[in-house]
A and B are shown apart, each in its own frame.
Chain A
Amino acid sequence: DQQVKQNSPSLSVQEGRISILNCDYTNSMFDYFLWYKKYPAEGPTFLISISSIKDKNEDGRFTVFLNKSAKHLSLHIVPSQPGDSAVYFCAASASGGSNYKLTFGKGTLLTVNP
């Protein structure tokens, strides 16, 4: 049973517009969420994170929103740039003894067209 779901395998947007990547989770014990970005033939790199005590975290062009009641988070990229084209993974962790463990979604391939 998938605990972190990214239901859109791919997303295509125009340069300069907003990209919105979505992620849903089922485990109510998750309280920390991360987004990773992955280019082809490279390892994932950390992008932005959010704790469950917040509903928004912003870092430059990237903003993550968390809706705990809906168990949903989203990553907004504004404005989108061609260099943002990559696979984006949503990941979640829970407090307690297993807080080292990250559960990943399957990823969304973002393509930003010039």
Chain B
Amino acid sequence: NAGVTQTPKFRVLKTGQSMTLLCAQDMNHEYMYWYRQDPGMGLRLIHYSVGEGTTAKGEVPDGYNVSRLKKQNFLLGLESAAPSQTSVYFCASSYRPQQRQGPSSYNEQFFGPGTRLTVL
């Protein structure tokens, strides 16, 4: 199993250009996530998906769009890149957490290797 893979690994864009980051997972996970990591900021959730055909906004969604046309793929799009979007982007996936009262069920998220994006 490849786990979670991301394409491309590196990319340099000019301001205003567009691009799509691809995430693929082969673990049959229902949930998928896009995060960005900036120096001193930790991991922040951009968008997530709870299943094929559904997406939702996370903590920092502005300037990004996503699509989940197939269960195994989650795409992150930048329509008009800005220097503020220079970051490392991580995709993650997980099984659907069990819905119950009390302490959360185990909710390990599996991460891809990341895409380093620079916007000039």
Contacts of B106 in A (CB 8 A): 32, 49
B100/A95 in contact, CB under 8 A: yes
Q: Mark A86-114, 1 if CB is under 8 A from B, else 0.
A: 00010001110101111011110000000
Question: Given the known A-B contacts A42-B113, A43-B113, A45-B111, are A32 and B104 also in contact in the complex, defined by CB atoms under 8 Å?
Answer: yes
Q: Determine if A100 and B43 form an interchain contact, defined as CB atoms under 8 angstroms apart.
A: no
Known: A52-B103, A106-B40. 11 other contacts (CB 8 A): A31-B102, A43-B112, A46-B108, A89-B43, A95-B102, A97-B99, A100-B50, A100-B97, A102-B45, A104-B44, A105-B42
Question: A49-B108, A89-B43 given as contacts; is B113 within 8 A of A41 (CB)?
Answer: yes
Determine if A100 and B111 form an interchain contact, defined as CB atoms under 8 angstroms apart: no
* Least CB distance, B19 to chain A, in whole angstroms: 20
Give me the interface of B with A, judged by CB distance under 8 Å.
4, 31, 40-45, 48, 50, 90, 92, 94, 96-97, 99-114
Measured between C-beta atoms, what is the minimum distance from A68 to chain B in Å? 11
- Nearest A residue (CB) for B41: A106
A9, A97, A102: the one contacting B109 at CB < 8 Å is A102
What number of A-B contacts does a CB cutoff of 8 Å give?
73
Q: List 7 A-B contacts (CB under 8 A).
A: A49-B106, A49-B108, A95-B100, A99-B107, A100-B97, A102-B45, A106-B41
With a cutoff of 8 Å between Cβ atoms, the chain A residues found around residue B43 in the complex are 44, 89, 104
Do A94 and B104 touch (CB < 8 A)?
Answer: yes
Most A CB within 10 A of own CB, among B4, B96, B100, B103: B103
Nearest-Cβ distance from residue A57 to partner chain B, whole angstroms: 12
The closest CB in chain B to the CB of A92 belongs to B104
Contacts of B41 in A (CB 8 A): 106
